[in-house]
Amino acid sequence: MTSRVLLILSVLMCCCKPETLKIGAIFDIEAEVKEKAFQLAIDAVNTKRTGDERYLEGLVEYVPCDNPFKAMVATCRLVSNGVVAILGPSSQDNAQMVQTICDDKDVPLLDARWVGRPKGPTISFYPHQGVLTRVYMEVLDAWNFQDFVVLYENDDSLKRMGELLKGYDSKEHQIVVRQLDKYQNGNYRPTLKEVWRSGATHFVLDCSTEILEEVLLQAQQVGLMTNKQFYFITNLDMHTLNLTPFQYAETNITGMRFINPDTQQIRTMGFELYKNEINKDIHLSFIAAWKLQLETALIFDAVTMFGEALSNLPKNFASPILDCQSAQTWMYGTTLINLIKGIKYPGLTGLIQFDTTGFRSAFGLEIIELKEGGITRTGNWSYSEGLNISREYPPAPPPPVEGSLVNKTFVVITCLTEPYGMRKESSVPLHGNERYEGFGIDLIAELSKELGFNYTFIIREDKKNGEYDETTNEWNGMIGDVINKKADLAITDLTITSEREAAVDFTTTFMSLGISILYQKPKKAPPSFFSFADPFAVGVWKLLAAAFFGVSIALFLLGRISPSEWHNPYPCIDEPEYLVNQLSLRNCFWFMTGSLMQQGSEIAPIAISTRMVAGMWWFFTLIMVSSYTANLAAFLTTESPDRPFKDVFELADVAEKKGIQFGAKINGSTEKFFRDSKHIEAYQKIYQYMKDHEDDVMVKDNNLGVVKAETKNYAFFMETTSIEYETQRRCSLTSVGNSLDEKGYGIAMRKNSPYRRALSTTILKLHEEGVIAKLKRKWWEERRGGGQCPDEDEKSTEATPLNLKNVGGVFWVTIIGTLLSCVMVLIELSLHIFKRSLLTKQSFKLMLMEELRFYFKTSGMVKPVFHNHSGGSSDKTESRLGQRRPYGFICDEHLTQS
């Protein structure tokens, strides 16, 4: 077949004998490394040329990512320059445009990126996805992935994972598919937290190199990077990333690679590509080799293999000169493609050969795992033999150096203080270290895994951390046990103090804390009787009352001064004998009251001055009433907590008045803190109180202080970490005030211990990797009843319905106001009858009875006037009064009687 193709080419192109053949390449912007690989490949091809063999010339075009129009222009420019093949770009949209033109002109397209299915005259050097899916399934079966979660990035990765899912029976395997949402600005934690809460442990991760490291880092942050998780990463460039932060997590991370960075050929290639970054030091070529990505290596292989194919062409083979505007095609493009498909070529990425569709289907690759020593080869896969697992472990570690803890055995003393050390709850007998659990127990276990030492726990039953006895001049407690060599290490809530550090050595702080106050949560203060008055402060109410009286009097004075307010009571008379004024003092107060209540009144100022006063008062009441209404809703629906004290200084002042006791653990670091704080008067007052009432307020154990704080009016001084632990379980307790100091817990050991540096360094490492934060979350919030008490800001913000206590004062104000009005009407009636009785010389009792008799006749709406018919001075008085009424109308007698 090959000889027949060569014969056809020699006959058809006998008249053409070019010295140089051109190969084009289209790169996305910022693809300098790929261009270097392209040029290195051309140089490698030309170096092998001898005699009259053709040389390759490279033509490079740069196109922005996802810009098909510019990709089209660049492709047409290359085709018009007579290229015999084009190396396609990495961008999906650009590659599709280049492929379309190559299909139309029948120019070979060399593709080094992942493609779903090649079309037309395309050669895909990337491994066939169908074969890769076969590799996935064989590795997952070997690693016993029965149920797993697929995490994918975009549509291309979903297509790859879709092929994988087709190979599994949904009845036998439970597979969950989740997308790593790229629209969260690089935040993949919501998806990772979701799968963490589901309890999944096996993951298939398919994402680009650009985000792979960040995805693993965020998975570690949410707790998905422990010895319980298994990851299979489909990215063939996994080994090029910095995976050092994850190699100590004991997480099972498996991947694949085509490129073995340890081979001399790869090292040479890496050095040429990255020599500027490693300062041209040939001894650092092994570092550059680990940076070489698959697509870059495939570009090199594609060009060198294409150059090998060109060497088999006849001497008279000529380059095409095509125009995108015409319908002309290259009649020998398909022939050249078929020639390339028939070649087997050993490249950087292994043996390269293609099937009839242009896929690279027969290949081999390595199975790799992330171990503590780094990337380790654990097997290989070949097209002919399939998967072969042969775990190769790193070489044996060097002999231990001075200060190493490998194979050492330590006696670790602790005390049963929650949550640092506790007896494990079990239905079967436990022995040795298995009897205990807690934060301190787990921390020692993590240090043991990192440093390789063995340990045995012993318990300090009296729970004494240690203090210096001035009588015996010795230390007691766990500090004394370490000094006396009963134990090598001591771990619990052991505070690092200057006094203790003078006697023993401590590691670096594994937990920071301070002293705060544990006290009962403040109860909601019951609403006051006058809750409706709370929106304004007392001073505002006083000023409001002063404004009311002041403006009322001002309106009265202006009304009397202003001529416009005096008007004729009888408009029919042109020249009245007197004028009247409606703005009496009583009416002014009533006008202001109606305005303040937003109800108005029948009184209407006439003069400009009085109207100006009224307008300003209306504006004032508008703002005040609106402010009151807006603030009233919040005050009536909110129940403010009744806090006996807000901080330690207020506690020292009000404790005696409110009957609050306070104390701390006897002979503990908290007590010593108050003892040594001689420059703060409040602290000394607290310490003196605790010494004077030691039997009543000081406790031997933190648990006793917690119970006392929960059941009595008692404030317990305690470390913030312990307070946080208790408030997660005892919802009636809370922390009051800020921390009084800053200190930390450490692991104690004998003075000048050679292991201090190794332990401290490892604790810092566990901090950086999030292990200690994970342990704290485990023992504070998840185990032993943790997480029962939600934070205040997590509680429902739904409005609370109002009850009688909230609005009872308003009802009573209305009732009392009504009763006062009844009293006032009786007083008003009595005064009126009293004046009439004096005027008419009649009996007060008689007139009162007559008035009451009329009032109880509820049907009568016309009231008769009470006259004195006995004559005398009263008649004269009424006659005189009658003569003083020159204006008005005299009612008919029958109207009066009716």
* Residue 508 in this model has a pLDDT that exceeds 70: yes
Mean pLDDT, range 766-795, rounded to an integer: 77
Angle between helices 264-274 and 294-310 (to 10 degrees): 100
User: CA nearest 811: which of 525, 532, 526, 527?
Assistant: 532
Burial class (CB in 10 A: 0-12, 13-18, 19+), 571: exposed
Paired with 733 in beta bridges are 520
Which domain CATH number covers 737?
3.40.190.10
Percentage of residues in the chain with pLDDT exceeding 70? 82
Residue 304 in domain: yes
Highest mean pLDDT among 46-55, 86-95, 265-274: 86-95
- What does the pLDDT read at residue 810? 45
The secondary structure of 108-153 as a DSSP string is: -EEE-S--SS--SSEEE-SBPHHHHHHHHHHHHHHTT-SSEEEEE-
The residues near 806 (Cβ < 8 Å, ≥ 6 apart) are 527, 531, 636, 637
Task: Report helix, strand and coil shares of the chain as percent, to nearest 5.
Answer: 45, 15, 40
* Residue 260 in this model has a pLDDT that exceeds 80: yes
* Residue 414 in this model has a pLDDT that exceeds 90: yes
Is 819 or 408 the better-scoring residue by pLDDT? 408
Q: Give 246's pLDDT tier (boundaries 50, 70, 90).
A: confident
Q: Give 737's pLDDT tier (boundaries 50, 70, 90).
A: confident
SS3 662: strand
Point out the least confidently predicted range of 124-133, 397-406, 427-436: 397-406
In which element (H, E) is residue 809 found? helix 804-840
Based on the fold, state whether residues 136 and 251 are members of the same structural domain.
yes
Residue 277 in domain: no
What are the strands, taking DSSP E only, across 227-384?
A: 230-233, 252-257, 345-347, 350-352, 364-371, 374-382
Q: Give 7's pLDDT tier (boundaries 50, 70, 90).
A: very low
Based on the fold, state whether residues 118 and 134 are members of the same structural domain.
no
- What does the pLDDT read at residue 46? 86
Is 875 or 307 the better-scoring residue by pLDDT? 307
d(CA 504, CA 487): 12
- What does the pLDDT read at residue 8? 42
d(CA 137, CA 391): 19
Question: Is-contact 219 248, C-beta < 8 A?
Answer: no
Mean pLDDT, range 518-541, rounded to an integer: 72
Domain's final residue, options 782, 801, 831: 782
Residue 629 in domain: yes
Question: Is-contact 35 60, C-beta < 8 A?
Answer: yes
Is 791 or 165 the better-scoring residue by pLDDT? 165
- What does the pLDDT read at residue 2? 40
* Residue 399 in this model has a pLDDT that exceeds 70: no
Domain's final residue, options 352, 376, 398: 352
Q: Give 703's pLDDT tier (boundaries 50, 70, 90).
A: confident
Burial class (CB in 10 A: 0-12, 13-18, 19+), 384: exposed
On the question of a cis peptide bond just before residue 419, with omega within 30 degrees of 0, the verdict is: yes
- What does the pLDDT read at residue 482? 93
Based on the fold, state whether residues 33 and 115 are members of the same structural domain.
yes
* Residue 632 in this model has a pLDDT that exceeds 60: yes
- What does the pLDDT read at residue 194? 86
- Structural domain count of the chain: 6
SS3 647: coil
Residue 490 in domain: yes
Based on the fold, state whether residues 735 and 758 are members of the same structural domain.
no
Q: Give 883's pLDDT tier (boundaries 50, 70, 90).
A: very low
CA 264 to chain centre: 47
CA 588 to chain centre: 61
Q: Give 780's pLDDT tier (boundaries 50, 70, 90).
A: confident
Rounded (5°) CA angle 894-895-898: 85
d(CA 810, CA 593): 18
User: CA nearest 261: which of 290, 232, 237, 240?
Assistant: 290
- What does the pLDDT read at residue 622? 81
Point out the least confidently predicted range of 207-221, 259-273, 795-809: 795-809
Q: Give 291's pLDDT tier (boundaries 50, 70, 90).
A: confident
Question: Is-contact 140 148, C-beta < 8 A?
Answer: yes
Record the tokens describing residue 588, joined without a space: 């002014």
The secondary structure of 58-102 as a DSSP string is: EEEEEE-TT-HHHHHHHHHHHHHTTEEEEE--SSHHHHHHHHHHH
Is 208 or 16 the better-scoring residue by pLDDT? 208
Q: Give 280's pLDDT tier (boundaries 50, 70, 90).
A: low
Give tens-digit pLDDT for 574-601. Answer: 777 777 878 888 888 888 888 888 777 7
Residue 470 in domain: yes
Give tens-digit pLDDT for 820-854. Answer: 656 776 787 788 788 888 888 888 888 888 777 76
Which domain CATH number covers 614?
1.10.287
Domain's final residue, options 604, 637, 670: 637
Is 299 or 183 the better-scoring residue by pLDDT? 299
User: CA nearest 369: which of 216, 249, 231, 266?
Assistant: 231
Based on the fold, state whether residues 426 and 498 are members of the same structural domain.
yes
Give tens-digit pLDDT for 618-630. Answer: 788 788 787 778 7
Based on the fold, state whether residues 689 and 730 are members of the same structural domain.
yes
Based on the fold, state whether residues 49 and 95 are members of the same structural domain.
yes
Mean pLDDT, range 242-250, rounded to an integer: 83
Average pLDDT, whole number, for the chain? Answer: 79
The residues near 121 (Cβ < 8 Å, ≥ 6 apart) are 102, 103, 106, 107, 108, 109, 333, 334, 337
Q: Give 891's pLDDT tier (boundaries 50, 70, 90).
A: very low
Residue type, 242: N
Q: Give 885's pLDDT tier (boundaries 50, 70, 90).
A: very low
Name the phi and psi angles at 846, rounded to 5. Answer: -65, -45
Question: Is-contact 496 509, C-beta < 8 A?
Answer: yes
Question: Is-contact 87 114, C-beta < 8 A?
Answer: no
Burial class (CB in 10 A: 0-12, 13-18, 19+), 660: middle
Which domain CATH number covers 105?
3.40.50.2300
d(CA 327, CA 324): 7
- CB-side neighbour CA atoms (13 Å) of 761: 10
The residues near 626 (Cβ < 8 Å, ≥ 6 apart) are none
Based on the fold, state whether residues 205 and 237 are members of the same structural domain.
yes
Question: How crowded is residue 229: how many other Cβ atoms within 10 Å of its Cβ?
Answer: 20
Burial class (CB in 10 A: 0-12, 13-18, 19+), 517: buried
* Residue 792 in this model has a pLDDT that exceeds 60: no
* Residue 570 in this model has a pLDDT that exceeds 80: no
Q: Give 4's pLDDT tier (boundaries 50, 70, 90).
A: very low
Give tens-digit pLDDT for 82-140. Answer: 898 999 888 888 888 998 898 888 889 888 888 766 566 678 888 888 889 999 999 99
Residue 610 in domain: yes
The residues near 38 (Cβ < 8 Å, ≥ 6 apart) are 25, 27, 58, 60, 87, 299, 300, 303
Mean pLDDT, range 40-46, rounded to an integer: 88
* Alpha helix segments (H runs only) across 678-799: 681-692, 694-697, 702-711, 720-727, 756-768, 771-777
Based on the fold, state whether residues 29 and 98 are members of the same structural domain.
yes
Based on the fold, state whether residues 475 and 555 are members of the same structural domain.
no
Pairing of strands 468-469, 374-382: unpaired
Print the domain residue range for 670.
655-741
- What does the pLDDT read at residue 413? 93
Based on the fold, state whether residues 148 and 170 are members of the same structural domain.
yes
Burial 304-321 (b: 16+ CB within 10 A, else e): bbbbbbbeebbeebbbbe
d(CA 104, CA 120): 9
d(CA 85, CA 757): 62
User: CA nearest 603: which of 556, 542, 659, 665?
Assistant: 556
- What does the pLDDT read at residue 607? 73
Highest mean pLDDT among 331-340, 433-442, 806-815: 433-442
* Residue 881 in this model has a pLDDT that exceeds 70: no
Point out the least confidently predicted range of 159-163, 713-717, 833-837: 833-837
Residue 243 in domain: yes
Record the tokens describing residue 553, joined without a space: 């009097």
Based on the fold, state whether residues 113 and 11 are members of the same structural domain.
yes
Q: Give 60's pLDDT tier (boundaries 50, 70, 90).
A: very high
Residue 790 in domain: no
